[in-house]
Amino acid sequence: PINKKGAEILFVAPSADYFASPHYYTLLGYLALFHEVGLDYTWSAYASEGGNFGLFHSHEMMKRLNAKIYAEARRLGVKWVLGGECGHMWRVINQYMDTLNGPADFLEEPVSPITGTKFENAKATRMVHIMEFTSDLIRNGKIKLDKSRNDHWHATFHDSCNPARAMGLIEEPRYVIKSCMNNFTEMPENTIKEQTFCCGSGAGLGTDENLEMRLRGGFPRANACKYVHDTNGVNILLCICAIDKATLP
C-alpha cells in the first residue's frame, strides 16, 4: 500500500532497498514480514527515502530531509512510524529528530498492534526500528520460524557503527539472528558491539572514487571476518545498514 490514509503505521525505508543488491532482499523481507503478521501499514511516495545525507552536509539540509517523515505521517493520519535498515538514517532519528522537527505530539506513543508491546525508547520520536519491532514479534511467539532451513549458512554479525554506538541497538539483531539460524559465531569481542569497526564507508564515503580509502578503512573488519571464516567456517556476514551492504560484499 502506498499513500494509504488512515493506516496504523507509516513505513519508511532507505532508497537503496528499492533497487540495489543485496538491499532488495531486505525489502522483500519487510514485505513478507508485514504480510505474515497482517500489519496495517502504508508507504509514502513523498517520504520514500529514510536515508538522510544532510547529516554530512548541513543542519538545515538534515532538518529539511527529516521533516518529510513527520509531514507525511500527519497527512496520512497514521498512529506512529516504523523505519527500515539504514545506519545514518537512524542516527538522525535517534539523536536529533525530536529537537529538529518535533515534538511529534500528533502521533501516538508506539504500541505494537500485534503484541501490545509499548516501545518506550520511541516515546519522543514516535518512530521504531524494524529490528526492535521484529525481535518483539519473535519474543512474543507471533512468527513461526524453522531454523533448520538456514543450516547451510554459518553467520557472523557486523555491528553497524550508528545503530550500535549512536543507538545502542546491539542485542535485538542478535536475538533475531539466533532465532532464525542454528549456526552463528561472533567475531572477536574487541571488534563488535560498542567496540565495532567501521565498514570503511561511514560518513557517506561508499563510492568508487574513494576506493582506496574504502579498502583501507574496511580492512580491520575484513580481517575479523576472515578470522571467523578460517577458524569457524563462517560463510555469510549479516548487517543492518544500507552502506554496509553496499561496501562489505
Query: Going by CATH, does the domain composed of 9-139 fall within 1.20.1530?
Result: no
pLDDT tens, N- to C-terminus, the chain (249 residues): 999 999 999 999 999 899 888 899 999 999 999 999 999 999 999 999 999 988 888 999 999 999 999 999 999 999 999 999 998 899 999 999 999 999 999 999 999 999 999 999 999 999 999 999 999 999 999 999 999 999 999 999 999 988 998 889 999 999 999 999 999 999 999 999 999 988 887 655 555 667 777 788 888 999 999 999 999 999 999 999 888 888 887
Could you tell me the residue ranges of all domains in the chain?
Answer: 9-139, 147-247
d(CA 172, CA 182): 17
Terminal alpha carbon distance of the chain:
31
pLDDT tens digits along 120-165: 999 999 999 999 999 999 999 999 999 999 999 999 999 998 899 8
d(CA 200, CA 156): 18
pTM, to two decimals: 0.93
For 56, other C-beta atoms within 10 Å of its C-beta total 13
Residue 141 Rama label (left phi>0; alpha psi -120 to 50; beta): left
Here the cell at position 245 is: 551492504
Residue appearing with cell numbers 497482517? 38
